[in-house]
Chain A
């Protein structure tokens, strides 16, 4: 790959190009789904209309517990997640279903069960797609995303090193020049100005999964004792059943005690194990909405008496890992920050897309002349990965609004039918890109705008919630979601008209410029 005389910058440039080309498509998918995941719970509200409630706190946990007992009298384990501003329902997890547990949404005031049409939604499809690509087999999806995380770090470091005049070009964006110049300016601009974000996000994401990716570390330090590792690092408490019946004590009192121990930190989850037994344990977990950290703070109570059995809190370095995880998970309720994360994520998407386009435009003439297949292949894969996944996401949202609640087809339930819509459309975009080549960018961009309008219109038609009505009802998330969808459509329409029309005109110039691309270090 290198001869001894080639300078470091040249080899990093080739590394940057190759890693970008090979993994750029998957990286875009991870970035796109990750950006959407900032608002995964808001996407849930949009996709599950019965859960579009104005936020209201649960007045009494004991009343909630009685409602749960009425729903599932003999349940041995159950948990409830308290409503928050972003998820206004009381979410109760009860035993049952194919996976062992079923999530129920209850109204936090009346405890009536809400029945949204079955869907994975933002938290069940979009978010898991981001960190494991829905490839469950042997955790392969997690490992691929991990590889992409390391690749992103390589791309960022190499990108900085090969950028010869990084300070001179700091604010430089020349839209009027030849397309390769503008594309490169945009690519580096999106990257350099958000450099801390592009370094911290992949690194923090990897650190979340430290025990999966580097198991040798805990195996060595804990002599292979996995249970001890989980207990000491993440906190977990168990005790055997007493096999004697007993009543559940006051959850409200336990929650108050937990709040007192946490000096104001609020509970968000209550989990009961071995319910009805004398040795039953109630676990109360601390909310993530008030701090950066994804804390593992937990208080374990004796279910009958409410006495504190154990309190878990991370030690300093463990707390640092939780803080780093929190920077990635973004569960805190800080609206300006969350929108900025969203913007930075979108900038990352633009960075990846412009990276592809830059490579394509600067190689197009050469590959056509030499009859090489590279540009045609990369163009098809890149288009499907960029505009394709956006079109597929809109198809997912539209399917959510169109499919009847009791849908069943091809042996798939409604949840899987929505996912089928996503994957089928995504596959079609790859086929379309393979056939139409360069024109596919413009055509798929042109399709995004009408699809966005259709999605918002369907929301109105099927739920009656048009943007300012949702806002007026106190369900700001739905209004914001409609707004973002329409904005996305508008941007795609502008891109389709301006950039690509101009590129078609500039093609004769690009042919001549392909050889004279300025040496800013591209591979």
Chain B
């Protein structure tokens, strides 16, 4: 049982952490691409992705309750996916109207 928990946590950290970092980095690139230009936005967001991944790895491997880690990792990733979808579907007018972003 303990070995299973260890393997699960490592997989969650690597897979879930990577997924979360990847989708939030994509969302950031989309959010910044109109203000910075798509080349600059991509490079900035991708460089930050490694930091996001590191933070996720640290948190998922050390947080005490595995169940909580799983739920948080999953939700954060899903929210990120939703955000990227929304941003890439040309949701800019809505954001601008809210006064958010560049």
Contact = CB atoms under 8 A, between A and B. Distances in A.
B46 A222 contact: no
B73 interface: no
A440 B49 CA distance: 42
Given A217-B22, A221-B33, A317 B40 contact: yes
A318 interface: yes
A4 B67 CA distance: 12
Contact of B57 (A3, A4, A150, A222): A150
A196 interface: no
Contacts, number: 107
A318 B50 contact: no
Contacts of B6: 1
B22 A11 contact: no
Interface string B44-71: 1111011001100110011011100000
Contacts of A2: 62, 64
A316 B36 CA distance: 10
Interface string A195-214: 00000000100110011011
Interface in B54-102: 54, 57-58, 61-62, 64-66, 84, 88
B25 A318 contact: no
A112 B79 CA distance: 63
Contact of A217 (B37, B45, B65): B45
B40 A316 contact: yes
B61 A217 contact: no
B61 A15 contact: yes
Contacts of A439: none
Give the interface centre of B6, B41, B61, B88 by most chain A CB atoms within 10 Å. Answer: B61
B89 to A, nearest CB: 11
A471 interface: no
A148 to B, nearest CB: 13
A8 B41 CA distance: 35
Contacts of A207: 47, 50
B21 A214 contact: yes
Nearest to B33: A221
A210 B58 contact: no
A216 B39 contact: no
A315 B39 CA distance: 8
Contacts of B5: 1
Given A6-B64, A12-B62, A317 B29 contact: no
A214 B42 CA distance: 10
B26 A216 contact: yes
Band of interface residues on A: 35 or more
Contacts of A178: none
A211 B27 CA distance: 15
B17 to A, nearest CB: 9
Interface string A308-342: 00000001111011001000000000000000000
A318 B38 CA distance: 11
A315 B30 contact: no
Contacts of A214: 21-22, 25, 46, 49-50
A203 B53 CA distance: 12
A60 interface: no
B54 A217 contact: no
A207 B54 CA distance: 13
Give the interface centre of B9, B27, B39 by most chain A CB atoms within 10 Å. Answer: B39
A366 to B, nearest CB: 19
A221 B50 contact: no
Give the interface centre of B22, B25, B46, B61 by most chain A CB atoms within 10 Å. Answer: B46
Contact of A220 (B9, B29, B65): B29
A105 B30 CA distance: 46
A460 interface: no
Contacts of B44: 317
B62 A211 contact: no
Contact of A232 (B39, B46, B54, B57): B39
A331 to B, nearest CB: 20
Nearest to B36: A317
Contacts of A8: 62
B29 A15 contact: no
Nearest to A210: B46
A318 B43 CA distance: 6
A154 interface: yes
B29 A221 contact: yes
A217 B62 contact: no
A315 B84 CA distance: 25
A217 B26 contact: yes
A153 interface: yes
A222 B42 contact: yes
B22 A317 contact: no
Contacts of A12: 62
A3 B84 CA distance: 35
Contacts of B27: 220
A15 B62 contact: yes
Nearest to A233: B39
Interface of B: 2, 5-6, 9, 14, 21-23, 25-30, 33, 36-47, 49-50, 53-54, 57-58, 61-62, 64-66, 84, 88
Given A210-B43, A217-B29, A217-B42, 18 more contacts: A1-B6, A1-B9, A2-B62, A2-B64, A3-B64, A6-B64, A150-B53, A154-B61, A214-B21, A214-B50, A220-B30, A222-B38, A232-B38, A233-B39, A233-B43, A317-B40, A317-B43, A318-B39
7 closest cross-chain pairs (CB), A and B: A220-B26, A210-B46, A232-B39, A221-B29, A4-B64, A217-B46, A317-B40
13 contacts: A1-B6, A2-B64, A11-B62, A213-B49, A214-B21, A216-B25, A217-B46, A221-B29, A223-B88, A232-B38, A233-B39, A233-B43, A317-B44
